[in-house]
């Protein structure tokens, strides 16, 4: 067993163990003489139950420790040296389990996830020592695990999908190229059983003679839960999702639990949370540590192959109404300059202009295009109906120049897969989001927000309090109504995390 935790060695476990024993004068923690105490068996039970949190008991030597404790619990007890060895081994395993449960096993920064360790972390030595003294060792799990309803729901889903994986492991669906309502299908019984097991079809629903009725409705519910167009037609993408082994769904949930362990506690009264694979934004109110969704909307994120939206936690500090779109230099070089060389009228048509040390110009010539390529000029789009940012920009300063904004291309929000942007996040309902963000700043009612968006003149309003914005990535989550969502791994982050955990 390694002696350091995976997340940047945030806890140096051997050093913690030395401190743990030094503070008690090197008295064994888990043994009374040569016999294990009750608390030792309780600690072992936590390690053996690691799988309920999506962790692997083998990482904590649970089976070997159980064998050694059984031997020590016999009539003769353990030899003093063996008792001491077991005591230290159990302490190290428990510390490692608590560290993994509290902060996660993988380092987010190593996976290009810009989420730092929380400033305040659980003092493992103090927590374990006090739990032993107060006979509250089983409560260590609740102390270390994320205090999020989403985490608890995922644990419940994990237990359920493990049962389903065991029960339906050998029940494959016959392949189909395209199944539309009303068509015959040889796999009706298998499809019926699967959808009943997953909760998309009532158990009382009769087995139809063809693909029709309640079975089609159940497929629509399945499609909606899996990020697909809910049209009831089983095409290639829908069949692929129906055919995913349930053991793979179990692993998706385990990876989702790992990611939730990376998040710091929410300390503010409000927050905005974005889940990239779901293409969804939720505005939360936080009361007594519990978050409630007050607003939800569709979003558009960065393209999977070239301009992925980064994962990070930002702080929204102000809103710009009727903003200029300052075109990033990379977009200007790769997209704007080629377009202008083919069609110089593009600049005027898109209400764009060049800006440099000499001021503003709309003259399209090779000299200005070369200056733009060198970075001596930049290009911006004036406020107005064609502006790529729409009428509003939600600013959360960061090194990646990522922000939230509206868009004139509203038709794209109706797509089931919405990775179309250059990396920024387009929001479907900007007025509602602005009302949520500016709530409490009473002068900013809906009427004034709409007027500022349509003004055509840039203006900025600073938030009374910075608002946390969590740009997150998870392909499995549980809704408030209990529906379990499994989403496409559009950026391949599940594969990267899986590999990091395996190599650990």
Strands (E), 343-499: 352-356, 359-361, 378-381, 392-395, 404-405, 419-421, 425-427, 459-472, 476-478, 484-486
Residue 265 has pLDDT above 80, yes or no: yes
Q: How large is the average pLDDT for residues 401-415?
A: 95
Q: Are 491 and 304 in contact (CB under 8 A)?
A: yes
424 is annotated as an active-site residue: yes
The Cα–Cα gap between 380 and 368 comes to 14
The Cα–Cα gap between 340 and 129 comes to 69
Q: Kindly tell me the burial class for residue 190, based on how many C-beta atoms sit within 10 Å of its own C-beta (0-12, 13-18, 19 or more).
A: middle
The gap from C-alpha 12 to its chain's centroid, in whole angstroms, comes to 27
User: Which string of b and e fits 271-281 if b means at least 16 CB within 10 Å?
Assistant: bbbbbbbbbbb
Q: Are 92 and 14 in contact (CB under 8 A)?
A: yes
- The answer to whether residues 331 and 317 belong to one domain is no
Residue 263 has pLDDT above 70, yes or no: yes
Choose, from 226, 405, 422, 493, the residue flagged as catalytic: 405
Q: Is 481 part of a structural domain of the chain?
A: no
The Cα–Cα gap between 281 and 301 comes to 11
- The answer to whether residues 60 and 128 belong to one domain is yes
Q: How large is the average pLDDT for residues 458-485?
A: 96
Q: How confident is the model at residue 2 (pLDDT cuts 50, 70, 90)?
A: very low
- The residue segments making up the domain with residue 338 are 327-382
- The answer to whether residues 229 and 202 belong to one domain is yes
Q: Is 176 part of a structural domain of the chain?
A: yes
- The answer to whether residues 319 and 351 belong to one domain is no
The CATH number of whichever domain residue 210 belongs to comes to 1.10.101.10
Strands (E), 31-171: 31-32, 35-36, 113-114
Q: Is 212 part of a structural domain of the chain?
A: yes
In DSSP terms, 425 is beta-bridged to: 404
Q: What rounded mean pLDDT belongs to the chain?
A: 93
Contacts of 19 (CB under 8 A, 6+ apart): 125
- The answer to whether residues 44 and 126 belong to one domain is yes
- The answer to whether residues 274 and 408 belong to one domain is yes
Q: How many Å from the N-terminal Cα to the C-terminal Cα in the chain? A: 11
- Could you tell me the two tokens for 5? 């935790």
Q: Is 253 part of a structural domain of the chain?
A: no
Range name among 112-121, 257-266, 319-328 with the lowest pLDDT average: 112-121
Q: How confident is the model at residue 503 (pLDDT cuts 50, 70, 90)?
A: confident
In order of 33, 63, 67, 99, 461, the CA distances from 79 in angstroms are: 10, 20, 15, 30, 72
Q: How large is the average pLDDT for residues 482-500?
A: 96
Q: Is 164 part of a structural domain of the chain?
A: no
Predicted local confidence at residue 419, as pLDDT: 96
Predicted local confidence at residue 475, as pLDDT: 98
Q: Which residue has the tokens 């399209």?
A: 364
Contacts of 193 (CB under 8 A, 6+ apart): 168, 171
Q: How many CA atoms lie within 13 A of 368 on its CB side?
A: 20
Residue 249 has pLDDT above 70, yes or no: yes
Q: Is 150 part of a structural domain of the chain?
A: no
- The answer to whether residues 417 and 280 belong to one domain is yes
Decide which of 306 and 125 is more confident: 125
Angle at 298 between CA 148 and CA 494, to 5 degrees: 55
Predicted local confidence at residue 7, as pLDDT: 53
What's the structural domain count of the chain? 4
Q: How confident is the model at residue 287 (pLDDT cuts 50, 70, 90)?
A: confident
- The answer to whether residues 306 and 402 belong to one domain is yes
pTM for this structure? 0.92
- The answer to whether residues 226 and 282 belong to one domain is no
The Cα–Cα gap between 27 and 31 comes to 9
Q: How large is the average pLDDT for residues 112-126?
A: 88
Predicted local confidence at residue 412, as pLDDT: 95
The gap from C-alpha 277 to its chain's centroid, in whole angstroms, comes to 8
- The answer to whether residues 206 and 307 belong to one domain is no
Q: Is 69 part of a structural domain of the chain?
A: yes
Instruction: Read off the pLDDT of residues 157-190 as tens digits, 9 standing for 90 and up.
Output: 999 999 999 988 777 899 999 999 999 999 999 9
Predicted local confidence at residue 6, as pLDDT: 52
Which domain-ending residue is among 342, 363, 382? 382
Predicted local confidence at residue 307, as pLDDT: 93
Helix, strand, coil percent content, the chain, rounded in steps of 5: 40, 20, 40
Residue 4 has pLDDT above 70, yes or no: no
Q: How large is the average pLDDT for residues 251-260?
A: 98
- The answer to whether residues 111 and 73 belong to one domain is yes
Q: Is 483 part of a structural domain of the chain?
A: no
- The answer to whether residues 188 and 299 belong to one domain is no
Instruction: Read off the pLDDT of residues 339-358 as tens digits, 9 standing for 90 and up.
Output: 999 999 999 999 999 999 98
The Cα–Cα gap between 44 and 418 comes to 46
Residue 457 has pLDDT above 70, yes or no: yes
Choose, from 53, 422, 424, 493, the residue flagged as catalytic: 424
Residue 422 has pLDDT above 50, yes or no: yes
Range name among 170-179, 313-322, 337-346, 456-465 with the lowest pLDDT average: 170-179
Predicted local confidence at residue 171, as pLDDT: 75
Predicted local confidence at residue 117, as pLDDT: 78
Instruction: Read off the pLDDT of residues 139-162 as tens digits, 9 standing for 90 and up.
Output: 999 999 999 999 999 999 999 999
The crossing angle, in degrees rounded to 10, of helices 13-22 and 80-103 is: 130
Instruction: Read off the pLDDT of residues 356-388 as tens digits, 9 standing for 90 and up.
Output: 998 999 999 999 999 999 999 999 999 999 999
Nearest to 419 by CA among 469, 491, 334: 491
Q: Are 478 and 157 in contact (CB under 8 A)?
A: yes
Q: How large is the average pLDDT for residues 78-101?
A: 95
Angle at 43 between CA 127 and CA 141, to 5 degrees: 55
Share above pLDDT 90 across residues of the chain, in percent, rounded to a whole number:
87
Residue 208 has pLDDT above 50, yes or no: yes
In DSSP terms, 302 is beta-bridged to: 421
The Cα–Cα gap between 92 and 358 comes to 66
In order of 231, 287, 391, the CA distances from 435 in angstroms are: 33, 19, 14
């Amino acid at each position: 067993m390694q002696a350091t935790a995976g997340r940047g060695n945030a806890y140096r476990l051997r050093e913690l163990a030395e401190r743990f024993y030094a503070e008690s004068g090197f008295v064994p923690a888990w043994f009374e003489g040569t016999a294990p105490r009750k608390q030792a068996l309780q600690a072992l039970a936590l390690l053996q139950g690691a799988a309920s949190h999506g962790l692997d008991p083998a990482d904590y030597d649970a089976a070997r420790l159980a064998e050694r404790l059984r031997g020590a619990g016999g009539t003769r007890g353990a030899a003093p040296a063996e008792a001491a060895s077991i005591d230290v081994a159990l302490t190290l395993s428990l510390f490692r389990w608590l560290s993994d449960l509290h902060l996660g096993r993988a380092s987010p920064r190593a996976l290009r996830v810009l989420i730092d360790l929380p400033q305040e972390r659980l003092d493992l030595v103090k927590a374990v020592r006090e739990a032993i003294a107060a006979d509250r060792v089983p409560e260590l799990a609740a102390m270390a695990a994320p205090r999020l309803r989403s985490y608890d729901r995922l644990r419940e889903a994990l237990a359920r999908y493990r049962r389903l994986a065991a029960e339906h492991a050998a029940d494959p669906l016959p392949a189909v190229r395209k199944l539309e309502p009303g068509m015959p299908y040889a796999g009706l019984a298998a499809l019926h059983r699967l959808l009943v097991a997953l909760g998309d079809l009532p158990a009382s629903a009769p087995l139809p003679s063809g693909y029709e009725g309640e079975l089609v409705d159940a497929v629509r519910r399945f499609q909606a839960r899996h990020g697909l167009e809910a049209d009831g037609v089983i095409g290639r993408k829908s069949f692929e999702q129906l055919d995913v082994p349930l053991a793979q769904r179990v692993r998706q949930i385990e990876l989702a639990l790992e990611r939730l362990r990376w998040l710091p506690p929410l300390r503010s009264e409000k927050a905005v949370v974005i889940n990239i694979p779901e293409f969804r934004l939720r505005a939360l109110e936080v009361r007594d540590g519990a978050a409630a969704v007050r607003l939800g909307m569709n979003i558009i994120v960065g393209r999977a192959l070239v301009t992925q939206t980064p994962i990070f936690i930002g702080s929204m500090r102000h809103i710009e109404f009727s903003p200029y779109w300052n075109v990033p230099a990379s977009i200007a070089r790769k997209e704007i300059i080629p377009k202008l060389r083919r069609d110089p009228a593009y600049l005027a048509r898109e209400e764009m202009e060049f800006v440099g040390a000499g001021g503003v110009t709309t003259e399209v010539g090779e000299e200005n295009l070369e200056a733009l390529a060198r970075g001596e000029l930049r290009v911006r789009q004036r406020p107005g109906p064609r502006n790529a940012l729409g009428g509003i920009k939600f600013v959360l300063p960061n090194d990646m120049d990522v922000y939230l904004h509206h868009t004139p291309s509203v038709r794209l929000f109706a797509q089931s897969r919405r990775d179309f942007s250059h990396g920024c996040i387009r929001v479907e309902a900007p007025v509602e989001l602005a009302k949520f963000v500016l709530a409490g700043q009473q002068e900013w009612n809906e009427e004034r927000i709409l007027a500022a968006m349509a003004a055509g003149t840039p203006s900025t309003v600073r938030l009374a309090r910075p608002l946390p914005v969590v740009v997150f990535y998870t392909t499995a989550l549980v809704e408030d109504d209990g529906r379990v969502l499994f989403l496409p791994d559009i950026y391949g982050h599940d594969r990267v995390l899986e590999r990091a955990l395996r190599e650990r």
